[in-house]
Amino acid sequence: MNEEKHVISMLVDNKPGVLSRIVGLFSGRGFNIESLCVAETMDPHTSSITIVTMANLPIVEQIEKQLNKLVNVIKLRDLTGPKSVKREMALICVKAKTENRAEILSIVDIFRCKVVDVGPEHYIIEVTGDEGKLSALLNLLKPLGIKKIARTGVIAQLREPK
């Protein structure tokens, strides 16, 4: 069966060990995590967790049921697909030789990113966007030489009814 990317978003108790329960469930059952984001919500007693995982449908169903079963998981939603807005941020350090600097800046401009650090040999670019935007940007920058990259992983939110 086809593996697909799934975005699972959870509201959980903001307590020690909760993340470890969630991650342990993935590792203990051989499920894979592609990215993971955790932060407090407006209510300091709860956190929100967004996990991206690659799996086929029955496995995703099983993952979601297992997560839901954890006592500290208050609410779970599969946010895969267009029903949600997804964003990820990356900090990309690219080699910036004199002859490439203009090209890089024009890419930055087109993608509406920001240069947040400059040196004689590099730029660090801050970019926010969905998966498509990030991978398009990376494809353009790759030939110029990416030195380092740090990504936050996906966060997502359900769109409100129009």
Partner 1 sequence: MKLKGTEILLKTLKSEGVDTIFGYPGGVVLDLYDDLIRTDIRHILVRHEQGAIHAADAYARASGKVGVCLVTSGPGATNTVTGIASAYMDSIPVVVITGQVPTPLIGNDAFQEVDIVGITRPCTKHNYLVKYTEDLAETVKEAFYIAKSGRPGPVLIDLPKDVGNKTITYNAPREAKLKSYNPTYKPNMKQLHKVVELIKTAKKPILFAGGGVILSGASAELKKLAKKTKIPVTTSLMGLGAFPGTDPLWLGMIGMHGTYRANMSTGDCDLILAVGVRFDDRVTGKINTFAPQSKIVHIDIDPTSIRKNIPVTVPVVGDCKISLKHLNRLIEEVNLRDIIKKRKKWADQIDLWKNTKPLAYDQKDIIKPQYVVEKLYDLTEGKAIVTTEVGQNQMWAAQYYHFDRPGHFITSGGLGCMGFGLPAAIGAQIACPDKLVVDIAGDGSIQMNIQEMATAVQYCLPIKIVILNNGYLGMVRQWQELFYKKQYACTNLDHSPDFVKLAEAYGAVGLRATKPDEVESVLSKGLFSTDTVIMDFRIEREESVYPMVPAGTAITEMLLV
Cα separation, 33 vs 26, in Å, equals 7
> Tokens 């995703």 map to which residue?
60
Q: Contact between 68 and partner 1 (CB under 8 A)?
A: yes
**3-state DSSP assignment of residue 5:** strand
Which parts of 71-135 are beta strand (E)?
Answer: 73-78, 84-95, 114-118, 122-129
10 vs 125 by CB, closer to partner 1: 10
- Are 157 and 85 in contact by the 8 Å Cβ rule? The answer is yes
Provide the mask over 3-32, with x wherever binding to partner 1 is found by CB under 8 A and - wherever it is not.
---------xx--xx--xx--xx--x----
How many other C-beta atoms are found inside a 10 Å radius of the C-beta of residue 85? Answer: 13
Main-chain dihedrals φ then ψ at residue 131, nearest 5 degrees: -60, -40
Q: Contact between 65 and partner 1 (CB under 8 A)?
A: yes
Cα separation, 116 vs 91, in Å, equals 9
Cα separation, 146 vs 7, in Å, equals 27
Of 32, 41, 56, 62, the one binding partner 1 by CB under 8 A: 62
Q: Contact between 81 and partner 1 (CB under 8 A)?
A: no
- Cβ at position 71, least distance to partner 1 in Å: 5
Amino acid 142 reads: K
Of 3, 32, 40, 69, the one binding partner 1 by CB under 8 A: 69
69 vs 83 by CB, closer to partner 1: 69
- Cβ at position 32, least distance to partner 1 in Å: 17
Of 35, 66, 152, 157, the one binding partner 1 by CB under 8 A: 66
Of 42, 43, 44, 71, the one binding partner 1 by CB under 8 A: 71
Contacts with partner 1 by CB under 8 A lie at: 12-13, 16-17, 20-21, 24-25, 28, 58, 61-62, 65-66, 68-69, 71-75
